[in-house]
Amino acid sequence: MKWALLFLGLVALSECMIRLPLMKTKSLRATLQEKGLLEEFLKKYPYDLASKYSMYAQTFNEPMANIMDIEYVAVITLGTPPQSFKVLLDTGSSNLWVPSIYCSSQACSNHQKFNPSLSSTYRALNTALQVAYGTGSMTGFLAYDTLTISGVADPNQMFGLSETEPGTFLYYSPFDGILGLAYPSISASGATPVFDNMMNQGLVTEDVFAFYLSRDGASGSVVTFGGYETAYYTGQVNWIPVTVQGYWQIAMENVMINGQVVACSQGCGAIVDSGTSLIAGPPSEISNIQQLIGAQLYNNDYYITCGNIPNMPDVTFTLNGIQYTLPASAYVRQMNGYCTSGFQGMNLPSANGGLWILGDVFIREYYAIFDRGNNLVGLASAV
């Protein structure tokens, strides 16, 4: 299915983005010290600043709608009074943007559009923004306003207002915009990502967020900000170091079928990406996997005989010495009586060879925890 691989967040390539130096936010302690007020403040509040502001920090859950196991969409608001938007929560990109009333593209005609004149907390920045994804892009400009997610207000959040959204993909998308949750180093125009702003303002108890993705279009998908929930996984969490702080990139040792290494034989990089629906890898290696699982190419998609699913092999990914196994029931997509492979070939070059994308096919099986404080990805068997 041509819609099976969600492009969003897959290839927000650095050469396709406008990048300026990242905006740094000073801590409250640094600001008070700079103004000569720190000593007086600590005398008045004789406990550390983290404790002083811990009353504002919290852990909170944001529900996501499961759109046919392809996209997971949340509802946020921007502005005062709030204007509501459906957004894709994407760990494979770093910018927040929504359509605006200034957008002239067809894709904006059937989506919610932000109107700055209706918000009393809106502040224009007038910095140009351009974000390119695998099969689409947007252009516009940056501004500040209050973002509210799951009832938690995130003031002075930098976000993009689209003026153009070329092509047809975004026209048919069930979401209005994108909320990126990757590192600030890949944020177009140096915009401060949402989770960085939450951390800077002390809104979360821990610098951690986590994804639970439901299966078969069911309800119950959730992203947790400020920590993670034990109810969504079984067994222990295995922690994997982030190797490159751009995407949530980790090292993968190999990919195996029936105990034999079939891909990534010399080790490779892998990105844990909530904004990608399938598992993507170098085309030659993915082609080998398609053959081994019995998938047949037809009209650019790999089809599988649905009745063969019980007899198909497991596919295992080795990450930081731990094996993460996907049964055929997890990597075969069943829809409208047809079955297709959950693997997709894509060239994503890196310094150490082609990158792999562990998208929603993988995250549905393994609860994914993203730890910015320690630069780790945690994985555990999802319930």
Residues noted as catalytic: 90, 273
The continuous run of DSSP H or E covering 157 comes out as strand 152-164
Question: Does the N-terminal peptide bond of residue 283 adopt cis geometry, omega within 30 degrees of 0?
Answer: no
Report DSSP letters for 193-256, one per residue. PHHHHHHHTT-BSSSEEEEE--STT-S-EEEEESS--GGGEEEEEEEEE-SEETTEEEEE-EEE
Rg of the chain over CA atoms, in angstroms? 21
Closest to 135 in 3D by CA, of 247, 5, 286, 237: 5
3-class state of residue 282 by DSSP: coil
Interatomic CA distance for residues 29 and 113, integer angstroms: 38
Residues 82-101: b if buried by 16+ CB within 10 A, e if exposed = bbebbbbbbbbbbbbbbbbe
Interatomic CA distance for residues 269 and 351, integer angstroms: 9
3-class state of residue 29 by DSSP: helix
Q: Give every CB contact of residue 326 below 8 A, 6+ residues apart in sequence.
A: 314, 315, 316, 317, 361, 362, 365
CB 339 within 8 A of CB 312: no
Whether the CA torsion 121, 122, 125, 128 is positive or negative: it is positive
Percent helix, strand, coil in the chain (nearest 5)? 20, 40, 40
Vertex 304: Cα angle to 301 and 307 (nearest 5)? 160
CB 367 within 8 A of CB 232: yes
Q: Which amino acid is at 23?
A: M
3-class state of residue 46 by DSSP: coil
Q: Are strands 177-180 and 83-90 parallel, antiparallel or unpaired?
A: parallel
